[in-house]
Amino acid sequence: MAGQNEIVDLSFCFAVRIVKLANYLKKEKREFTLSEQLLRAGTSIGANITEAQDAQSRKDFISKLSISLKEAKETRYWLRLLIETHYLPNGTDNMRTLQNELDSIIRLLTAIIKSAKSKSV
């Protein structure tokens, strides 16, 4: 399926950035609750994509990727909340890059899911 290797790599690199960001929030900002939520959701994206690679069926594949998409959207929520509560800066190159990576992940997941669904009909 087109985009699968790209999404695996992109989600892994994104997860690494999320781990580093969560560590920053804990050490530098002394923020523990929201950073844990961000860490859980942001790393779950790639974990579910990886599980989808060994899906038992097309339905299982779509289900795992749908969970990844939900986690990606949840991650976007936590990032937005951290920005609005001034734990993270808005508009910096790092934040724009992180948000752009997340948007790319969401677009790719949406396209892969849509393609997989159209082939299963």
Q: If you write DSSP's letter for every residue of 62-108 in order, what string do you get? A: HHHHHHHHHHHHHHHHHHHHHHHTTSS-SS-HHHHHHHHHHHHHHHH
Mean pLDDT in residue range 14-31: 98
Report pLDDT for 120: 62
Confidence check: pLDDT of 83 > 60:
yes
At residue 97 the predicted structure's pLDDT band, cuts being 50, 70 and 90, is very high
% of the chain with per-residue pLDDT over 90:
93
Query: What domains sit in the chain, N to C, each tagged with a CATH number?
Result: 4-116 (1.20.1440.60)
Report pLDDT for 119: 86
pTM of the model: 0.93
Report pLDDT for 2: 45
Report pLDDT for 4: 59
Give residue 117's Cα distance to chain centre.
Answer: 21
